[in-house]
Structure 1
Amino acid sequence: MAWHVFIPDSLLEEANDPKIKAYKVGQVARACAIFGVEHIWIYKAGGKDGKFIKLLLEYAETPQYLRKRIFPITPELKYAGVIPPLQIPSHKPKAPPRIGEIREGYAYRKGKKLFADIGLDRPALIKGVAREGRGTFKIISVNPLRVIPAEPSEYWGYKVHLSRKTLAKTLKKANLDVVIATSRKGVDVRSAEVPLEGEVGIVFGSPKKGVIEILKEYNEDYEFDLILNTIPEQKTKTVRTEEALLATLAIFNFMRKRGD
């Protein structure tokens, strides 16, 4: 089972202050991390911030000790400090190494050998086959410090996809088992049977346009498995995308847990 969240590249269309933009992206990152979303898709909806959203989401997901290696200093990251820390399992603090511990790292070549920066006081020698760049490693020896490539057994973070395609084409590319759209005009979630098995896509609109409006704007149609109102009886005129994201994932998380 994996959750895929779909947000528009127009997510930030009502924000002009770059600090506010960074904060809003941070709210998306936090919501997805809290509920274990594994994929965030950014689809084309007439916005200009797709690359910026992707950059900040990836920055937030990266452990702090690897950010300087992966992200050069750019104006887009000027206000990245307002993004709240995700504190997910892959964001491990510096501590004495333990055999069997899995840590996120960055592999680099030094001479004929491959080493990994895993956020400790010294680099670790990589045994086995690995590629340069970011990866996940398990400590197999402390003195000397050695690691092997590994797969985490717990939630480790999300991947970000900037599709540059319209919503219907992006959904087709994702090839999901279930696709659920969120809409104020949808079925009340309290009376709906919500299938949350397999690869599940959850689609959100922009601050100004709902999912169906965005599809119509590009002369598209898509047969969703469900169109749900996940905030029934809302008292505000509008619900921001990042607010709808948090509310929807909280409800779905309860349903998923109840179904286990």
Structure 2
Amino acid sequence: MMLTWRKKLNKQTNIILHYSIACTLASLFVLSCLVLSGRSYTLSVALPGSVMENAQSPELRTYLAGQIARACGVFCVDEVVIFDELREDVKSVEGEFRGIGKKGQGCVQLARILQYLECPQYLRKSFFPKHRDLQFAGLLNPLDSPHHMRIDEEVEFREGVVLNHPSKPGKGSLVNCGMRKEVQIDKLLKAGLRVTVQLNNSQNKEGKLYKGVVVAPHIPRTEGGLYWGYSVRLASCLSAVFSECPYKDGYDLTIGTSERGKNADHVTLPPFKHMLVVFGGLQGLEVSVDADENLNITDPSVLFDLYLNTCPGQGSRTIRTEEAILISLSGLRQKIAAVFPDQSKG
């Protein structure tokens, strides 16, 4: 049945209205992720890549990685460390990553899928060529994090990729930030780099370009109070999770999770700057400790400031790692908020 011109116009108007509402709701979501002040602390999570080997098919492995990514995004994890719990590494205190063996392929696949999901959709073609690890990426649920912007969202910060376009003398590089116009930044940078851009408050709507400055990736978190995704790091063994910490003074609060740990309900967290929560595979952290030749211990609890059971009285013999992440981070959320009452939402 043919639509009359009036019905066609009404249909187009409804589409525009719905799109405008969607953009407004997306902007409100970003604003809701702001806290009263910037967030100074970081939250890191470490888990073995062997969890991928528990899935029976490529599709299930992909979906499992997506569950882990969603859990980390929902609870505002800043760093995900994937370690090889089965590799027999040489003794070293230098923190040098010597690569992974055949058994560590799950580590690389998990890392690649986590990075893919964390990357804003408009940047993925620039950083992720076709790869068999991403063959079933269409099954993945999006993170929809605050830095995954819609094209017309008016926000202060955006992620972008430096374009291989010539710049005028004295002008900075051009960056694709997923907007209708490219952004000219204040520096000349190598093409292909991923950058965090702070857009100028006042923009010339009639101009050909937007203007902005490059800032450190942590600025949206520390100054704007926004959750800005997670970084992904590979570690060749459990001890490398600690020795290769990217923070100058290391993790000042480390938590191991185990059914043999102390009841987390009875624990109060001390003040911290960088917290690390470590999860084991199906057989627990004991396997990771036994396989790590850098460690001359048998009891995993001595590695951590706190060794917690985050699900006492569990009704299953085992808790899968992806389940443990959700359970543990959910239980720790209010405890973290108690340490930083002025930096927590709600």
After TM superposition, the score normalised by the length of structure 2 is 0.70
1:37 aligned residue (58, 77, 102): 77
Answer yes or no: is 1:146 the counterpart of 2:211.
Answer: yes
Q: Which has the higher helix share?
A: 2
Q: Counterpart in 2 of 1:19?
A: 59
Answer yes or no: is 1:210 the counterpart of 2:284.
Answer: yes
1:112: Cα distance to partner? 3.5
Measured on the aligned residues, the alpha-carbon RMSD in Å equals 1.8
Q: 2:54 aligns to what SS in structure 1? A: coil
1:80 aligned residue (129, 132, 137): 137
Partner Cα separation in structure 2 for residue 120 and residue 135 of structure 1: 15
Partner Cα separation in structure 2 for residue 89 and residue 55 of structure 1: 21
8 Å Cα contact 2:65-2:114 kept in structure 1: yes
Q: 2:125 aligns to what SS in structure 1? A: helix
Partner Cα separation in structure 2 for residue 42 and residue 119 of structure 1: 30
Q: 2:147 aligns to what SS in structure 1? A: coil
Partner Cα separation in structure 1 for residue 253 and residue 85 of structure 2: 22
1:129: Cα distance to partner? 4.8
Any gaps of 5 or more consecutive residues in structure 2? 1-40, 87-103, 342-346
Q: Deviations over 1:182-225 (max 9, x none)?
A: 00111111222333621111000012x20123202335235311
8 Å Cα contact 1:129-1:149 kept in structure 2: no
Q: Deviations over 1:149-194 (max 9, x none)?
A: 133222101000012x210232222221111100011111122233
In the TM superposition, what are the counterparts of 1:1-260 in structure 2 within 5 Å? 1-46=41-86, 47-95=104-152, 98=154, 101-112=156-167, 114-132=173-191, 133-140=193-200, 141-142=203-204, 143-144=207-208, 145-150=210-215, 151-152=219-220, 153=224, 154-163=226-235, 165-174=236-245, 175-195=250-270, 197-207=272-282, 209-219=283-293, 220=295, 221=297, 222-259=302-339, 260=341
1:130: Cα distance to partner? 4.0
Q: Counterpart in 1 of 2:344?
A: none
Amino acid at match of 1:250: S
Partner Cα separation in structure 1 for residue 320 and residue 43 of structure 2: 20
8 Å Cα contact 2:269-2:336 kept in structure 1: no
Sequence identity percentage: 30
1:131: Cα distance to partner? 4.3
Q: Counterpart in 1 of 2:19?
A: none
Amino acid at match of 1:125: Q
Q: Which has the higher strand share?
A: 1
Partner Cα separation in structure 2 for residue 137 and residue 76 of structure 1: 30
Partner Cα separation in structure 1 for residue 262 and residue 230 of structure 2: 29
1:73: Cα distance to partner? 1.1
Amino acid at match of 1:25: A
Amino acid at match of 1:212: E
Q: Deviations over 1:83-111 (max 9, x none)?
A: 21111111011116x4x621111112312
Q: 1:7 aligns to what SS in structure 2? A: strand
Partner Cα separation in structure 2 for residue 16 and residue 196 of structure 1: 42
**Aligned length, in residue pairs:** 256
Runs of at least 4 residues of structure 1 off by over 6 A?
Answer: none
Any gaps of 5 or more consecutive residues in structure 1? none
After TM superposition, the score normalised by the length of structure 1 is 0.92
